[in-house]
Structure 1
Amino acid sequence: MHGHMNRVRLLVFNAAIGALDYKVPEGMTVEPGSVVLAPLGPRQITGIVWDEKRLPANDVPASKLRALVEVMPVPPLSAPLRRLIEWTADYYCAPMSAVARMVISSGGALNGPATMTEYRLSGGMPERMTPQREVAMEALEGEQATIRELAGIAGVSEGVLRGLVNQGVIEPVSVAIDRPFPPADPDYDIPELEPEQREVADRLNEAVKARTFAPFLLDGVTGSGKTETYFEPMAEAVRMGRQVLVLLPEIALTENFLKRFEARFGASPVLWHSSLKSTERRRAWRAIADGTAQVVVGARSALFLPYRNLGLIVVDEAHEVSFKQDDGVRYNARDVSVMRARFEGFPVVLASATPALESLQMAESGVYEKLDLHSRYGGAELPHIERIDLTEEKPGAGRWLAPRLVAALEDRLAKGEQSLLFLNRRGFAPLTLCRNCGFRFQCPNCSAWLVEHRLSRRLACHHCGHETQPPDACPECGEPDCLVACGPGVERIADEVAEILPEARVAIATSDTLNSPERAAQFIAEAESGAVDIIVGTQLVTKGFHFPELTLVGVVDADLGLEGGDLRAAERTYQQIAQVAGRAGRGAKPGEVFLQTRHPTAPVIAALADGDREAFYEAETEARRMVGAPPFGRWAAIIISSEDDAEAREAANRLGASRPKVDELMILGPAPAPLALLRGRYRYRFLVNARRSVELQRIITGWISGQNFAPGVRVGVDIDPYSFV
């Protein structure tokens, strides 16, 4: 480095400090990106040597600087990765230290190679045999693992095994934690692709070979074989000795993906998600950093790892809301993937059957190249979709399923085929409607729906704070006492099915019931083996599952998603229902889908029923252009929270009083957030809407940093928010 290389600036993982200067002791060499240990007060902290021009200076004289302690034995973070950290922090109004912490996400990995002790049978015999010892020795034949894992395998206590260790029957073995992962073989089982798939795969292979930035939108109907198609450019990257990252929206989905991956590449990929043990995380991190991890499959956090030579990113189900992080750094992994590919110069593939409106807009304007798969793989048909108008065909009192849907369920049960009842319930702010005519209460100021707050007995708008008394009778049809907070829960529907069809075997599939890869795998196995007749589920079931016997999908309340104070509500409803419809009739039997709705002519519902995606996207694009929603304008949410309600409210009002006056920028609020109390914190919210021309991040950062909030107050900024609760 340049002249005074005895002085360096560190980015440290403490947002309050940001940057610190240190001196480099004699004989130590560091470069920008080096991960180092430095003294801070009495302790030692980890930091990353940063490019000086890019971090605010501090004028500590050279004589006062303390010396770095050591350079950690990991490769320095590359310049493109440092630029990505800066870009993400700028765009999402987050501290750089918080973004960098996602890169160094395994503290243990920084200490260099390590070993752990595992145990295995030595071949010797114990002095005296007991039934438990016999069971254990039989079960552990050929096994090697930690004592705790072996105890689990053998079904005996750790004490039994320790006794065998003392007698030399089980021996310790020292294993490198960082042992290499089994290699993926790009030529293990090359599939016969259909001509349309071949053409897309060839175009992607070409892009991987070119080693330059190229963003693709892979748009294919559900069941068109997107996965097989993008496996080919992955194989191409592996042949070239480059790494591949595949991002999946839910870790519960990995099971099905892993099976397909192993069948294609003859080995498992390297996994990265929050349920990894620290030794697994450490092994994966080091293999990613030294380039030996070839294909990494993970949740959104895998995006920030320090890959040695990434050659391709695939974001599967790229429209998924779960790619957006809700706390900490509120980034969207889909968008940051594209930036990472741009900084490092390689192709990125966003794959989806129902792409986000923003992505389609990028393809239309020529920023992304769009590749299409129009036909279902192996000639399976897309399902037939029918509307059930709930104001005409009413379910019985206290029931949610209309007679025609019940009849269809009975028919499938008699034929031994499977049905799925879908509730797009989770993650929506509830709203209030009339149970007689379906009338919904709307805010006079900002067109969002009003929500009934039972506690304060008011109807409130969560965007601008407007409040009103709930009326005694419905203003539309005059029915008294008819207001209901919309929609049943999954359990309620499962109970109703049990009443109507007592002999049906029902499984509930939500992110709460399938909260681990094992549980998800068990559910899939049961559904595939036909041990389940009716699945009742939330949006988890819209994702990549493939059940050949599933021929009926009932959407219990197709209107639910159109409600709630959510800018992307219509789009999300369209995507979820199109995805869930795509679960039907994937095998040889054609599928049928029923949409229960009170608004059969709403653009979303009509587009779904007619299979006319273009019409829906056109109507939605127009509606968004009118209100300056993405992709035409930008939104940001600012959430102020505190454990003390008065303190949070006071901070919100004070921030509101100093709001910037800028043309083409509108600030709504402060209003109580829909989830006004979350994890013990009271929350108030501002919504900021700006035209594309406005420097939104700069204005927000300036506005907030001018405030002096009480210590208990937290301020979160969410750029391009997805969740409006």
Structure 2
Amino acid sequence: MTLTGQSFFQEGQLISVLTAEPIDRFLDYKAPEGGCFAGAYLEVPLGPRKVLGVVWGAGEGRFDPAKIRAASRMMDVAPMREEMRDFLIRAGQYTLTPLSQMLRLATRAPGLMNPPSMRKIYRPGTGEADRMTDARRRVMQVLEDHGGAGFTLKELAEAADTGPTVVKGLVKQGVVQEIDAPRDVAFPPLDPDLGGITLSPEQAEASGALCAAVDSGTYNTTLLKGVTGSGKTETYMEAIAACLRQGRQALVLLPEIALTAEFLTRVQARFGARPAEWHSGVTMTERRRTWRMVGEGGAQLVVGARSALFLPFRDLGLIIVDEEHDGSYKQDEGVLYNARDMAVLRASLCSASVILASATPSLETWSNAQSGKYNRVNLTARFGAAEMPDMKAIDMRLEKLPASRWISPTLASAVDRRLEAGEQSLLFINRRGYAPTTVCRACGQQIGCDFCDARMVEHRFQKRLMCHQCGESKPVPEACPNCEVEGKLAPVGPGVERLAEEVAERFPDARIAILSSDLFGSARALKERIESIAAGEADIIVGTQLVAKGHNFPLLTLVGVIDADLGLQGSDLRAAERTFQLMRQVAGRAGRSERRGVALLQTFQPDHPVIRSILSGDEEGFWRAECTERQQAAVPPFGRLAGIILSAEDAQQVFEFAGEMARRDGPLQAIGAQLFGPAPAPIARVRGRHRVRMLIKADKTAPLQRAISQWIAQFRVPNAVRLAVDIDPVNFF
């Protein structure tokens, strides 16, 4: 299908429409009353239903004219720009995703087909309450947290965990305003000249380079590599300001919703108003508003998760991918894409700048910067008086540690010294829950998920066993499900909850805070906990990977990594890279204020090359060595990989079909690609479906997508079998 710009089609003229329904083709319709533009969003009949569609161009007339139906109406939203349509096409071609699925990804906002209307929204008022109950305080706190953004009655009551009558009571007293307002209004304007903090000379030089790239008005990508605490955020804020001065829009992608609250506060301080938000924690009303305003130009800056990349920006001038190395930018279900790579693609199509910010960049990004494909800007020192922490290893082979204990005497002594000095310590373990495995001491059976080939993790605080693959949970049984013997189930290995239990026993007078994503019911609760820790209301923080991402605790001077060897196990080609990144990021939480910090890594392999690189701080040396190994193995970023994942409820059926595919791999051989497998996936059953994986390895310049398409086209995939193609896989489970 050829794009036709903003062509106008007269009423009744034949048009080609793409819907978000699972129909892998364009459909012909007659233009609606009043006509329509290419890119217009339409309501079109499909069988007995009316569905969303986008005008892709002139109809091709391949259907019986008498059976072609007219589109119902053109929707009152900004049309999809040609650049956006081109982006969806190219992203779909790269990821081998049907275009209808790409459109669904780009239209995931509620109520898009509803006509404009008014609604009652609730905002802070000027009155004072006759009395302030806990429920009323929660209502006011929600309104304050969201900067006065309008809520519907239902949304405000749910967010405050109270009933509508509480809100209505506050309305009667003028504490909360009830306003009739259009459902979707523009976001408050941002002031790029309001002024930020005074930058250091190094930061000023870096921001100058970033602003120059934005001011060029052409596509470019820059790696902003700065040590933890160097002020990367404040530096790229100036690039956002440069983008806003041009009248263009900016997008900031964050890897975790948990980071959003703190970041929004910094944006408001810098630009005088809150930006638009796009992530799963935003209300449906605000999601629709953001989607519409982005298309109309009523949202200058969007802060969001990876899917924000598919919003219909009117004039996108800058994309920032913060913590660009983070694995959460890879979507592993539905449309399999990497938001970092798709950000670069989108920017190249709309003459925008990309900033990839990280203290520990991905090897792909580092390599692109080394080769000159990307620009590179460095921040080598922490901001102000803060200095990088000292890094030391604790050789666990020399420590005398009792059974079922994980805090070494050396680490415990270091924590004691911080407690005496009134400073904070962080103990890090990259495992959620209480224990990763529960085993029966009578029969040796490990409790597994009923629907997956995965062990269930005990979450003692919730008194449940949970599967971290499919989310299935059940109460901790009294008796072994296998032998039915009672009192013999025992936890094996530590999780964050079990480590916290040991901390409470070892340091009984310390105030302990646990930071793990599954222990907080809302982003607001997590934000409040982080703020209390930063204010000094905890002595020892026990945390999972969540603590490694951007938090600033001024009193924190000690980081203890309980199991630095954990990520080095297995055959994942990125194991060394991920371990290096995680350890450096976690260590970077220490000493971010005036007090010097130290990071202690408990390891049984102090001489491992990765551990030595972490301790030495020779990041460039690590990347060079890792690049050399990858180049010799011809794997990314010096080769291409693609994963094929097949699944079915019938194990024999899926293995037989996978075997047939492997025997007919001619199109792959034609480009010199190697096919490995089929083999059971490392987690061979998920949600009751048996999983088989194949891996394709090809030269970096090989036309991999075309060959895979030709290969798959040979087969009729059975209805009971699901086939997914993962271009550039990050995970291999």
Alignment match, 1:115? 118
Alignment match, 1:691? 699
> Is 1:567 paired with 2:573?
yes
Shift of 1:454: 8.8
Distance 1:692 1:672 in 2: 27
> Is 1:185 paired with 2:197?
no
Shift of 1:252: 0.4
Alignment match, 1:443? none
Distance 1:687 1:423 in 2: 31
Match of 2:539 among 511, 533, 554: 533
Shift of 1:75: 1.4
Distance 2:36 2:631 in 1: 51
Alignment match, 1:7? 14
Shift of 1:166: 11
Shift of 1:164: 11
1:371-391 CA-partner distances (Å, limit 9, x unpaired): 111111003111101112222
Match of 1:388 among 382, 390, 394: 394
Shift of 1:582: 0.8
Alignment match, 1:437? none
1:138-186 CA-partner distances (Å, limit 9, x unpaired): x99x998644467679998545877999999999642112122222111
1:580-621 CA-partner distances (Å, limit 9, x unpaired): 111110111111111111221222111111111122112211
Alignment match, 1:291? 297
Residue 704 of structure 1 aligns to which amino acid in structure 2?
I
Shift of 1:290: 0.4
Structure 2 counterparts to residues 30-179 of structure 1, below 5 A: 30-51=36-57, 59-118=62-121, 146-148=152-154, 158=164, 173-179=179-185
Alignment match, 1:656? 662
Other structure's SS at 2:694 match: strand
Residue 716 of structure 1 aligns to which amino acid in structure 2?
A
Structure 2 counterparts to residues 519-558 of structure 1, below 5 A: 519-558=525-564
Q: Is the 8 A contact 1:74 1:112 kept in 2?
A: no
Shift of 1:626: 2.1
Alignment match, 2:367? 361
Distance 1:62-1:152 versus aligned 2 partners, 3 A rule:
closer
Q: Is the 8 A contact 1:75 1:290 kept in 2?
A: yes
Alignment match, 2:483? none
Distance 1:163 1:542 in 2: 42
Alignment match, 2:222? 216
Match of 1:23 among 18, 26, 30: 30
Other structure's SS at 1:235 match: helix
Match of 1:675 among 683, 687, 698: 683
Q: Is the 8 A contact 1:637 1:685 kept in 2?
A: yes
Distance 2:205 2:170 in 1: 60
Distance 1:34-1:545 versus aligned 2 partners, 3 A rule:
same
Q: Is the 8 A contact 2:8 2:37 kept in 1?
A: no
Shift of 1:275: 2.1
Distance 1:534 1:333 in 2: 35
Q: Which sections of structure 2, spanning at least 5 residues, go unmatched?
A: 1-6, 438-452, 457-489
Q: Is the 8 A contact 1:253 1:520 kept in 2?
A: no
Residue 494 of structure 1 aligns to which amino acid in structure 2?
A
Further displaced range: 523-532 or 83-92: 523-532
Alignment match, 1:225? 231
Further displaced range: 35-44 or 113-122: 113-122
Other structure's SS at 2:302 match: strand
Shift of 1:401: 2.1
Distance 2:676 2:164 in 1: 60
Other structure's SS at 2:517 match: coil
**Equivalent residues, number:** 665
Distance 1:116 1:239 in 2: 33
Alignment match, 1:280? 286
Residue 373 of structure 2 aligns to which amino acid in structure 1?
V
Structure 2 counterparts to residues 448-463 of structure 1, below 5 A: none
Distance 1:487-1:385 versus aligned 2 partners, 3 A rule:
farther
Shift of 1:400: 1.9
Q: Is the 8 A contact 1:8 1:49 kept in 2?
A: yes
Q: Is the 8 A contact 2:386 2:591 kept in 1?
A: yes
Distance 1:268 1:425 in 2: 34
Distance 1:132-1:318 versus aligned 2 partners, 3 A rule:
closer
Shift of 1:264: 1.0
> Is 1:492 paired with 2:498?
yes
Residue 240 of structure 1 aligns to which amino acid in structure 2?
Q
> Is 1:626 paired with 2:632?
yes
1:314-341 CA-partner distances (Å, limit 9, x unpaired): 1111111111111111111111111111
1:679-704 CA-partner distances (Å, limit 9, x unpaired): 23221111222111322212222222
Distance 1:453-1:225 versus aligned 2 partners, 3 A rule:
closer
Q: Is the 8 A contact 1:635 1:690 kept in 2?
A: yes
Alignment match, 1:237? 243
Q: Is the 8 A contact 2:257 2:281 kept in 1?
A: no
Distance 1:552-1:30 versus aligned 2 partners, 3 A rule:
same
Distance 1:171-1:300 versus aligned 2 partners, 3 A rule:
closer
Shift of 1:651: 2.9
Q: Is the 8 A contact 1:424 1:576 kept in 2?
A: no
Alignment match, 2:484? none
Q: Which sections of structure 1, spanning at least 5 residues, go unmatched?
A: 125-129, 432-451, 456-483
Other structure's SS at 2:518 match: coil
Further displaced range: 507-516 or 32-41: 507-516
Shift of 1:522: 1.6
Distance 1:171-1:347 versus aligned 2 partners, 3 A rule:
closer
Distance 2:543 2:26 in 1: 48
Distance 2:88 2:345 in 1: 10
Distance 1:680 1:486 in 2: 25
Distance 1:160-1:233 versus aligned 2 partners, 3 A rule:
closer
Distance 1:296 1:614 in 2: 33
Distance 1:115-1:666 versus aligned 2 partners, 3 A rule:
same
1:44-68 CA-partner distances (Å, limit 9, x unpaired): 1211111469xxx672143432221
Q: Is the 8 A contact 2:432 2:496 kept in 1?
A: no
Other structure's SS at 1:379 match: coil
Further displaced range: 655-664 or 285-294: 655-664
Shift of 1:632: 0.5
1:382-427 CA-partner distances (Å, limit 9, x unpaired): 1101112222325322222222111111221222211111123479
1:23-54 CA-partner distances (Å, limit 9, x unpaired): 225x532232111111112221211111469x
Residue 317 of structure 1 aligns to which amino acid in structure 2?
E
Q: TM-score, normalised by structure 1?
A: 0.85
Match of 2:335 among 329, 332, 345: 329
The share of aligned pairs that are identical, in percent, is 47
Residue 298 of structure 1 aligns to which amino acid in structure 2?
G
Other structure's SS at 1:75 match: coil
State the Cα RMSD in Å. Answer: 3.4
Residue 401 of structure 1 aligns to which amino acid in structure 2?
I
Distance 1:554-1:454 versus aligned 2 partners, 3 A rule:
closer
Q: Is the 8 A contact 2:504 2:510 kept in 1?
A: yes
Residue 197 of structure 1 aligns to which amino acid in structure 2?
Q
Distance 1:454 1:201 in 2: 48
Residue 721 of structure 2 aligns to which amino acid in structure 1?
V
Q: Is the 8 A contact 1:425 1:560 kept in 2?
A: no
Q: Is the 8 A contact 2:24 2:99 kept in 1?
A: no
Distance 1:625-1:364 versus aligned 2 partners, 3 A rule:
same
Q: Is the 8 A contact 1:122 1:168 kept in 2?
A: yes
Shift of 1:506: 2.1
Alignment match, 2:253? 247
